């Protein structure tokens, strides 16, 4: 089950208050490749080891928030910076 449309309408980035939307498959695929290679870290510096099935992309496209078991993890230190 994906994040509901109702929830997406009210969720914003806790850092910038920009809206978020579901991340496209190409972004998730690229990040999962980085996870497999052991290179992906979150903004808190911790390695990301679990494949990302769903994520929320900040409006500017610079930050991704992981959705874990249908629950958006909207913590700045758990987010992933996209280069």
Q: What is the pLDDT of residues 27-80, one digit of tens each?
A: 999 999 999 999 999 999 999 999 999 999 999 999 999 999 999 999 999 999
Element (H, E) at 81: strand 80-81
pTM: 0.94
**Residue 5: partners with Cβ closer than 8 Å, 6 or more residues away:** none
Distance between CA 44 and CA 21 in Å, rounded? 22
Distance between CA 49 and CA 3 in Å, rounded? 22
Give residue 16's domain range: 5-81
Distance between CA 47 and CA 49 in Å, rounded? 6
Q: How many domains does the chain have?
A: 1
């Amino acid at each position: 089950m994906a994040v509901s449309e109702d929830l997406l309408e009210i969720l914003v980035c806790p850092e910038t208050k920009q809206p978020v939307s579901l991340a496209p498959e190409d972004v998730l695929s690229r990040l999962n490749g980085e996870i497999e290679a052991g290179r992906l870290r979150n903004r808190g510096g911790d390695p990301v080891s679990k494949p990302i099935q769903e994520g929320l992309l900040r409006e500017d496209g610079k930050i991704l928030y992981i959705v874990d078991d249908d629950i958006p993890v909207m913590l700045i230190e758990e987010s992933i910076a996209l280069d």
